[in-house]
């Protein structure tokens, strides 16, 4: 029991989440209760007190970083919607998990944007997909779907166009084949021209354009500049079809002269309701789907998901953790992925700066070599689908070897360990040094990056920024150290931080992080040799494992930042085969919260570079 | 000096530019002979310049584990017992594990009794939906569905040709061995021979029975342990030998003659049908 009157505040800020929960229970009697569902942690907060409790959590308990805020629909189990928040301390440690519940009808909760601005996009997402209204949210609009969309698709009773059944596997597939069909034939939209008789076209009306521009202030507004020149506000639409936006991403920018007044990101063009698909899937089926999130770092995505589900499995009696060799291989893959991703992101940053494709292709040349290894190990260059619960798919192959089976096939054959050590010890370090010489001192790059798009450290934390964006601002926060997973505790590496939080620092952090990754990889190589021949999975792989009830939040330091998976197994005491809730805390998505604040007052010409320095990938942003 | 950084950068660009040609000079015309595997070098970790492969004149062969749209394994056409027989037993696991649910299977049933038989009547994969995850191959207990290497599946009309039916899906076992020799060998070792796992099990059972019968026929003086070793030895030898030889020859089964005769006729008919099919396919391809 914590006595908050006697205890100095400092211990509160370093205590465990259990201490924090106890403190909250005592401080807010009646408004805070422990979550007693089996396998669940944290506290449930009365919505009326939510803001107050959140403020306490942040100020008194020191949980200054809101990692994830997401909703769950408990239809049929109390019929309420639940917001789940995971808050962390930037100094490290485990999560304080708190929840607030509301009715499905007339769902309403107070907004926490006033406490953590990082809740902004996440609450908008919950509003969009679950229909929870957040009182006090400054800009409560749909974010992934368009304004005027009919319904809230993540609710359990919402059914998609291809709807066939609640859960996979679908019964029609076997043993009778169910009359083979292409799923597009089941689409209510047919081949996109036929509508069902009772379909109301009015429901499809897209009113988002109007509201977007209204918010940017299209009505002509005159501004007097310092020198007495008068200008009007100009609204510029950038994207979604714009090569520099790294995908289909759009920004509505209102300008005063050349300076930016407001910038409103518009996304969702690649939205496929990944999470709904995930809830229909079995646990294992989600693995290849995670590849498609941040498709440049599929190995990292796999790892995060495997960790989340393994945490749940660990609640059951028959769980064996991944073998040591599996962990070694996982880290090998994750760090190679980091290099792959950073090469790509630096290359594209240069593209954004106008150094068209030469630096990009040099970086890509190295990336291809790593992908060759991924392909030989997992069967695919980008959609690796390599991790499994309790291990990995297959051991790394003896040789990176190809088979000539088609006309004109040219064969390559390398010894895997030799290839890896050549890459890690010679080729990549040499390349990174050269790349560094090539770019870092380039005056154009420096002029355009130094002092541009500054994100101060406090803002970065408050906006839930992660990854190189956060570290570029000088915050030494890295999940690999803050809440270590896999074998990172035994590996020797440093967290790279910047100083000024500008584009250049983010660039420099990425460059240096590649060197740190190589340092880790050099420690991995001997471990790979030592563990040769050891098993790569623990236990046997079931094609549809039963996962004990409970919740878990598994997170990894992906190249783009903290990637978290919130997975809930619910509804069956013996364990479930399909997740009740599957949520992805996508770093690209939440990092975009900082785009608006970072660009304010900057010049329009810098927008593309600032966006490039966040390093987003739309597969993950839009999900 | 201001501008030094840019100049240095340009120097590096020039270096990259020339590195591509020094390679050309290093190998000279030998590049076009078989003597130097220039491809292996210029696509490997030691190369300095930037090289692309000249698709489609030159394709980078894909590694063994490469996975693209699955195919179904059937016996080779010159299989002695059951040419062209499906390895798939229509157990349905692949259809259940498939994440986008793009596999449809109709299990065959006996026309007389209506009881299900372990064979697919129809087998469909919608390759538009297939995400090439490889789960079907990973979890098939009969090694009957494998991921292909043929990635050139472009077609003019997706609505008619992108649902692969049984006929389109089947490929002989020898094909699998040719595209993935290491994996195929590992799998054969796990199964205990190059045959379908059911055939191997059946054979082992028969051998065990035969050994038992032999042991029973032996004078009572023969000690029991010997009998058991006799039962084990052939099975163990089986594992190594056929894998090494890459040919499986099942020992003659002990069945009554009429049955044997009937089966033989059936086999012959099947084999002929398979050969005819193969021929038809070839002719079809020539047109
Ligand atoms: S898992 Fe294998 S044996 Fe079973 S239905 Fe699929 S292909 Fe046939
Ligand atoms: S590769 Fe994956 S998606 Fe394709 S058929 Fe097999 S299980 Fe289904």
User: Looking at the structure, do residues A351 and A454 belong to the same domain, yes or no?
Assistant: yes
Q: Tens digit of pLDDT for each residue in A308-362?
A: 999 888 888 888 888 999 999 999 999 999 999 999 999 888 888 888 888 888 8
**Predicted TM-score of the model (pTM):** 0.84
- Ramachandran angles phi, psi of A454, nearest 5°: -75, 135
Min distance A123 CA to chain B CA atoms (Å): 30
Assess if residue A588 is contained within a domain: yes
In 3D, which of A541, A550, A618, A542 has the Cα closest to residue A586? A618
Domain of B180, in residue numbers = 70-198
* Per-residue 3-state assignment (H helix, E strand, C coil) for A173-195: HCCECCCCCCHHHHCCCCCCCCC
On whether both B5 and B110 belong to a single domain, the answer is no
Residue A244 lies in a domain: yes
Please name the helix (run of DSSP H) or strand (run of DSSP E) that holds residue A353, with its range, or none: helix A324-353
Whether residues A464 and A521 share a domain: the answer is yes
pLDDT digits (tens, 9 = 90+) for A183-214: 666 655 544 444 556 666 666 666 666 666 66
Evaluate whether residue A166 is within a structural domain. Answer: no
Closest residue in B to A178 (Cα–Cα): B104
Q: What is the pLDDT of residue A85?
A: 92
A565 pLDDT band, cuts 50/70/90, is very high
So what's the pLDDT on residue B268?
65
Co-location of B7 and B78 in the same domain:
no
Length of chain B measured in residues: 287
* Domain boundary pick from B150, B178, B198: B198
Rounded to whole angstroms, what are the CA distances from B27 to B14, B47, B94? 21, 12, 49
The reply to whether A539 falls in a domain is no
Of A101, A135, A169, the residue that ends a domain is A135
| Structure tokens, A39 | 């396998």
pLDDT at B120 over 90: no
Other CB atoms within a 10 A radius of the CB of residue B82 amount to 18
pLDDT of A147 over the 80 cut: no
Q: Are residues A284 and A223 in the same domain?
A: no
pLDDT higher than threshold 50 for residue A250: yes
Is B265 or A259 the better-scoring residue by pLDDT?
A: A259
Residue that wins the pLDDT comparison between A611 and B245: A611
Residue-wise pLDDT tens digits, A402-428: 888 777 777 888 888 888 998 888 889
Q: Is the peptide bond before B224 cis (omega within 30 degrees of 0)?
A: no
At residue B253, does pLDDT exceed 80?
no
CATH code where residue A446 lies: 1.10.645.10
Which pairs with CB-CB distance under 8 Å and at least 24 residues apart come from B16-24?
Answer: B16/A362, B16/B49, B16/B50, B19/B48, B19/B49, B19/B50, B20/B49, B20/B50, B20/B51, B21/B49, B22/B48, B22/B49, B23/B47, B23/B48, B23/B49, B23/B51
Same domain, A260 and A356: no
B140 three-class SS: coil
In the predicted model, is pLDDT for residue A609 greater than 80?
yes
Number of domains in chain A: 3
Domain end (from A135, A153, A175): A135
Contact of A617 with A294, CB cutoff 8 Å: yes
Whether residue A446 is predicted with pLDDT greater than 90 in this model: the reply is no
Query: B100: Cβ below 6 Å to ligand 2?
Result: yes
Residue A515 pLDDT: 92
Distance CA A422, CA A541 (A): 33
Task: Please report where in the chains the tokens 């994969």 appear, as a residue.
Answer: B125
Q: Are A289 and A281 in contact, with CB atoms under 8 Å apart?
A: yes
Chain centroid offset of residue B135 CA = 15
- A409-410 and B59-60: which strand pairing? parallel
- What distance in Å separates the CA atoms of residue A406 and residue A390, rounded to the nearest whole number? 36
Judge whether A197 lies within some domain.
no
The answer to whether position B171 is within a domain reads: yes
Using the predicted structure, report yes or no on whether residue B231 has a pLDDT greater than 60.
no
Whether residues B88 and B177 share a domain: the answer is: yes
Q: Which of A211-220, A394-403, B51-60, B231-240 has the lowest mean pLDDT?
A: B231-240
Q: What local confidence, expressed as pLDDT, does residue A84 receive?
A: 92
Structure token digits, residue B143: 């090694």
The answer to whether residue B43 neighbours chain A at the CB level (below 8 Å) is yes
Domain boundary among B198, B230, B253: B198
In short, whether B131's Cβ falls inside 6 Å of ligand 2 is: yes
Q: Are residues A589 and A610 in the same domain?
A: yes
- Which among A99, A92, A100, A95 has a CA at the least distance from the CA of A17? A95
- How far the first Cα of chain A sits from its last, in Å, is 42
Q: Are residues B9 and B86 in the same domain?
A: no
Does A231 lie in the same domain as A297? no
CA distances A568 to A32, A34, A303, A483, Å, are: 22, 17, 18, 21
pLDDT at A242 over 90: no
User: Does A115 map to a domain?
Assistant: yes
For residue A379, give how far its alpha carbon lies from the nearest alpha carbon of chain B (Å): 4
A522 and A601 in a single domain? The answer is yes
Q: To which residue do tokens 């739309």 refer? A: A618
Of the candidates B2, B58, B65, the beta carbon closest to that of A397 is on B65
Q: What pLDDT shows up at residue B243?
A: 45
Pairwise CA distance, residues A188 & A455, whole Å? 46
Please say whether the dihedral angle defined by the alpha carbons of residues B174, B180, B185 and B190, taken in this order, is positive or negative: negative
* Phi and psi at residue A453, to the nearest 5°: 65, 45
Chain A residues whose CB is inside 8 A of the B95 CB are 169, 173-174
CB atoms within 10 A of CB A325: 22
In this predicted structure, the answer to whether residue B264 has a pLDDT above a threshold of 70 is no
ipTM above 0.85, yes or no: no
Asked whether residue A142 is domain-assigned, the answer is no
User: Between vectors from CA B222 to CA B221 and to CA B224, what angle results, nearest 5°?
Assistant: 120
Q: What is the pLDDT of residue B239?
A: 43
d(CA A128, CA A208): 13
Ramachandran angles phi, psi of A80, nearest 5°: -130, 160
Q: What is the pLDDT of residue A204?
A: 61
Q: Which two tokens stand for residue A606?
A: 């810098």
Domain hosting A285: range is 274-532+546-622
Is B252's pLDDT higher than 50? no
Phi, psi of A86 (to 5 degrees): -120, 115
Tell me: do A489 and A351 sit in the same domain.
yes
**Res A221: pLDDT:** 57
Residues A125 and A242 in one domain: no
Please tell me the predicted confidence (pLDDT) of residue B220: 54
Question: Average pLDDT of A56-65?
Answer: 87
The shortest CB-CB distance from B61 to any of A385, A410, A427 is to: A410
CB of B98 within 6 A of ligand 2: the answer is yes
Amino acid A31: pLDDT: 84
Q: What is the CATH number of the domain that holds A124?
A: 3.30.460.80
Ligand 2 pocket test: pick from B72, B94, B102, B139 the residue with the most ligand atoms within 8 Å of its Cβ: B102
Q: What is the pLDDT of residue A305?
A: 93
Most confident of A82-86, B44-48, B164-168: A82-86
Q: Which of A103, A135, A167 is the last residue of a domain?
A: A135
Q: What is the pLDDT of residue B229?
A: 41
Q: Are residues A506 and A477 in the same domain?
A: yes
Contact assessment for residue A230 and residue A223, using Cβ atoms and an 8 Å cutoff: yes
pLDDT in tens, B194-225: 888 888 888 888 888 898 888 887 765 444 44
Interface residue B161 vs chain A (CB under 8 A): no
Is the pLDDT at A167 greater than 50, yes or no? yes
Name which of A288, A407, A412 is nearest B44 (Cβ-Cβ): A412
Whether residue B76 is found in the same domain as residue B129: yes
A252: which strand partners? A237, A264
The answer as to whether B1 is a domain residue is yes
Has residue A367 got a pLDDT over 70? Answer: yes
What's the burial of B222, exposed, middle or buried (CB within 10 Å: 0-12/13-18/19+)? Answer: middle
Asked if the Cβ–Cβ distance from A405 to B65 is below 8 Å, we say no
Residue B258 lies in a domain: no
- Asked whether residue B52 falls in the same domain as residue B79, the answer is no
For residues B75 and B170, state if they share a domain. Answer: yes
B242: its two tokens: 């056929």
Percent of chain B with pLDDT over 90: 8
Q: How many Å separate Cα A566 from the centre of its chain?
A: 11
CA B136 – CA A381 distance, rounded (Å): 19
- The residue-averaged pLDDT of A59-79 equals 88
| Cis preceding linkage at A394, omega within 30 | no
Question: Stretch A444-461: mean pLDDT, rounded?
Answer: 87
Closest CA to ligand 2's atom 6 = B136
Which of B198, B228, B262 is the C-terminal boundary of a domain? B198
CATH number at residue B93: 3.30.70.3270
Q: Which residue of B has its CA nearest to A281?
A: B99
Do both B42 and B107 map to the same domain? no
Supply the mean pLDDT for chain A: 84
Domain assignment present for A91: yes
Q: Which residues of A432-467 are buried (b: 16+ CB within 10 A; e: fewer)?
A: beebbebbbebebbeebbeebbbbebebbbbbbbbb
Identify the pLDDT of residue A535: 85
For the ranges A45-49, A188-192, A593-597, B20-24, the lowest mean pLDDT is seen at A188-192
Say how many domains are in chain B: 2
Helix ranges, A440-489 (H)? 443-449, 457-462, 468-472, 479-482
The residue-averaged pLDDT of A161-176 equals: 81
Q: A262 and A279, same structural domain?
A: no
B82 confidence band (pLDDT: 50, 70, 90): confident
Instruction: Using CA coordinates, name the residue in chain B closest to A543.
Output: B97
Looking at the structure, do residues A431 and A285 belong to the same domain, yes or no?
yes
If pLDDT is split at 50, 70 and 90, which confidence band does A243 have?
A: low
Question: What is the number of the ligand 1 atom nearest to the C-alpha of B86?
Answer: 8
Higher-confidence residue: A357 or B253? A357
d(CA A471, CA A510): 10
**Average pLDDT estimate for A591-620:** 88
């Amino acid at each position: 029991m914590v006595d908050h009157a006697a205890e100095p505040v400092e211990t509160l800020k370093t205590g465990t989440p259990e201490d924090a929960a106890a403190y909250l229970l005592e401080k807010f009697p009646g408004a805070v209760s422990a979550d007693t569902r089996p396998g669940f942690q944290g506290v449930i907060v009365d919505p009326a007190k939510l803001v107050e409790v959140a403020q306490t959590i942040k100020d008194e308990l020191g949980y200054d970083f809101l990692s994830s805020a997401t909703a769950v629909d408990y239809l049929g189990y109390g019929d309420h919607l639940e917001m789940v928040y995971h808050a962390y301390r930037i100094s490290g440690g485990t999560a304080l998990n708190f929840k607030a519940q509301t009715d499905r009808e007339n769902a309403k909760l107070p907004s926490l944007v006033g406490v953590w601005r990082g809740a902004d996009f996440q609450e908008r997402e919950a509003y969009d997909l679950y229909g929870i209204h957040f009182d006090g949210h400054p800009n409560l609009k749909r974010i992934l779907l368009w304004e005027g969309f009919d319904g809230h698709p993540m609710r359990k009773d919402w059914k998609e166009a291809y709807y066939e059944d609640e859960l996979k596997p679908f019964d029609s597939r076997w043993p009778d084949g169910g009359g083979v069909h292409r799923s597009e034939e089941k689409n209510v939209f047919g081949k996109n021209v036929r509508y069902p008789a009772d379909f109301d076209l009015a429901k499809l009306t897209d009113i988002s354009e109007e509201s977007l521009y209204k918010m940017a202030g299209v009505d002509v507004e005159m501004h007097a500049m310092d020198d007495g020149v008068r200008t009007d506000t100009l609204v510029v639409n950038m994207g979604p079809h714009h090569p520099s936006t790294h995908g289909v991403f759009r920004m509505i920018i209102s300008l005063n002269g050349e300076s930016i007044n407001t910038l409103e990101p518009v996304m969702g063009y690649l939205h496929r309701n990944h999470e709904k698909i995930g809830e229909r899937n079995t646990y294992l089926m989600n693995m290849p789907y995670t590849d498609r999130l941040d498709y440049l770092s599929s190995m990292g995505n796999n790892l995060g998901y495997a960790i989340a589900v393994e945490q749940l499995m660990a609640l059951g009696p028959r769980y064996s953790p991944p073998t040591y060799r599996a962990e070694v291989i996982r880290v090998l893959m994750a760090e190679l992925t980091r290099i792959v991703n950073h090469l790509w992101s630096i290359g594209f940053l240069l593209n954004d700066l106008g150094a068209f494709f030469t630096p990009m292709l040099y970086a890509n040349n190295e990336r291809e070599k790593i992908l060759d290894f991924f392909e030989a190990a997992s069967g695919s260059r980008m959609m690796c689908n390599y991790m499994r619960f309790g291990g990995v798919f297959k051991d790394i192959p003896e040789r990176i070897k190809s088979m000539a089976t088609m006309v004109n096939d040219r064969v390559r054959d390398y010894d895997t360990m030799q290839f890896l050590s050549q890459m890690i010890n010679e080729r990549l370090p040499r390349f990174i040094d050269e790349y560094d010489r090539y770019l870092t001192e380039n005056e154009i790059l420096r002029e355009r990056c130094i002092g541009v798009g500054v994100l101060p450290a406090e803002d970065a934390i408050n906006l839930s920024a992660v990854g190189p964006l956060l570290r570029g601002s000088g915050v030494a926060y890295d999940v690999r150290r803050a809440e270590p997973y896999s074998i990172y505790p035994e590996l020797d590496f440093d967290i790279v931080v910047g100083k000024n939080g500008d584009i250049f620092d983010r660039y420099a952090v990425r460059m240096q992080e590649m060197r740190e990754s190589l340092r880790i990889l050099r420690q991995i190589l001997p471990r790979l040799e030592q563990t040769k021949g050891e098993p790569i999975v623990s236990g046997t792989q079931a094609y549809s494992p039963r996962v004990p009830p409970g919740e878990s939040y598994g997170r990894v330091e992906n190249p783009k930042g903290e990637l978290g998976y919130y997975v809930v197994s619910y509804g069956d005491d013996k364990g479930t085969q399909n997740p009740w809730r599957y949520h992805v805390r996508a770093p690209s998505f939440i990092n975009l919260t900082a785009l608006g604040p970072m660009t304010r007052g900057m010049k329009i010409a810098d927008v593309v570079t600032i966006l490039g320095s966040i390093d987003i990938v739309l597969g993950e942003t839009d999900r | 000096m201001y501008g030094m950084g840019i100049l240095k950068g340009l120097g590096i660009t020039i270096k990259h530019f020339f590195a591509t040609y020094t390679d050309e000079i290093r190998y000279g015309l030998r590049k076009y002979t078989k003597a130097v595997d220039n491809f292996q070098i210029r696509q490997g970790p030691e190369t300095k310049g930037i090289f692309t492969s000249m698709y489609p004149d030159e394709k980078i062969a894909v590694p063994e584990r490469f996975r693209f749209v699955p195919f179904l394994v059937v016996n080779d056409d010159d299989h002695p017992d059951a040419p062209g027989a499906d390895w798939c037993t229509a157990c349905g696991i692949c259809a259940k594990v498939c994440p986008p649910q793009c596999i449809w299977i109709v299990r065959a049933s006996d026309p007389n009794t209506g009881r299900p038989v372990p064979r697919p009547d129809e087998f469909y994969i919608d390759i538009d939906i297939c995400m090439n995850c490889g789960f079907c191959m990973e979890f098939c207990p009969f090694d009957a569905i494998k991921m292909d290497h043929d990635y050139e599946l472009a077609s003019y009309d997706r609505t008619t040709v992108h649902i692969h039916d049984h006929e389109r899906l089947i490929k002989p076992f020898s094909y699998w061995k040719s595209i993935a020799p290491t994996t195929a060998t590992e799998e054969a070792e796990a199964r205990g021979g190059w045959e379908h796992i059911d055939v191997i099990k059946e054979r082992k059972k028969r051998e065990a029975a035969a050994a038992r019968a032999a042991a029973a026929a032996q004078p009572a003086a023969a000690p029991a342990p010997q009998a058991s070793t006799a039962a084990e030895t052939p099975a163990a030898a089986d594992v190594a030998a056929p894998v090494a030889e890459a040919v499986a020859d099942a020992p003659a089964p002990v069945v009554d003659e009429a049955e044997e005769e009937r089966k033989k006729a059936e086999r012959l008919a099947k084999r002929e049908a398979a050969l005819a099919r193969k021929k038809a396919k070839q002719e079809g391809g020539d047109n």
